[in-house]
Structure 1
């Protein structure tokens, strides 16, 4: 697949904006950090790894699937930036084994909910009051089209957590809109990342097949991708950059799907 060329960037569009991007060292999260930083934002990002990313940004090592990790990130963000204007919850993923519902233990369910739902809920609870005080802010939750098209073989718990995240986001938008804070959701389809390739390897190992067969199985389960390819992280980052910008100042409480046409219904 051909990686898209560079998109034009106004390097002052987000000048002075204070941003938190969770899960910003890999995949779409990393692309979002790079895009907002290139446009002048001061960006704090998080990851579980102690290895600080090479790109120019502030980094907090924390496991935000835990309350302690979320508290550490919130405190570090406020300490380093003095406040926050934009929050992008990009952290997420699935490590559950294949095998459908019977293969999911209580711990697997808890792990998926903690990472894909509660991490955002906790950080919002810790940081949004500061946005309310300043009377302005933007929040974007990265969901997934799997909330509408769950893959029963491999990602039931992940899909359920993302469905809950979308519902939570809508409720949050109703509460925060009158207070000057916009809340939107981005629902990607299959994104070409190292995490998606890792899922392919897990499914291949579980089924005893090869990676190409596992990859095709995902495509078949999704019903195909009309444009013929997954999205690139940079393309997701462009959508997020638009939604957190003043160009989208009337967009609120909405979900934007970026899936190459995968969802077959209106």
Structure 2
């Protein structure tokens, strides 16, 4: 597609996929998308990525390497269904405590139910709040994770500043997000799959293709790897790096509050 990627956060604030919306309108529209897909969100992730999102998320938690000791606290933002939180808890031998924050109550309801079924409710709490206004004191967490959520935040620079604020000195920031494919041929195959197949799968499985059209379009508008890494650095983080997964279909960004 010819739609231009944002090179900074400003391009995302009024971008609802390829549609330009008024300042302040994006959050309401995004909320509606996730209310509509919450119950089929994880199934659709499997279908959209061919199951690869599971490997990418495993890689994220492996790079985080949560310690196997009590008292270590992580914040998972836009993680309502608990996918990252449960991986962190398991990787820490159920020593870590993870606060799952999401602006969408429907997604959080799915996560709470899953936590009870998995027997990890004592290791997780679920908070309905905005990534741009975290309801936590400064230096509250040892790690901040966000997977496939930051491109849905209207003011990304504000969210990054909040991530920096709530991390303890020495804390780790990790963001897994769809990014820019950097392999010839794969980019064209991925493009065709995204815009043609994914909305149709959404219609067939979830009964609604429109939310998936937005999700695909939002990926194309999100800053590429280098531009997003620069934004993380501007927020104050040090040792900012990223790893590409599957030829750049997804990228995992890391930064430290030093």
Whether the TM-score (by the shorter chain) exceeds 0.5 is: no
TM-score by length of structure 1 reads 0.43
TM-score by length of structure 2 reads 0.44
Please identify the structure whose Cα radius of gyration is greater: 1
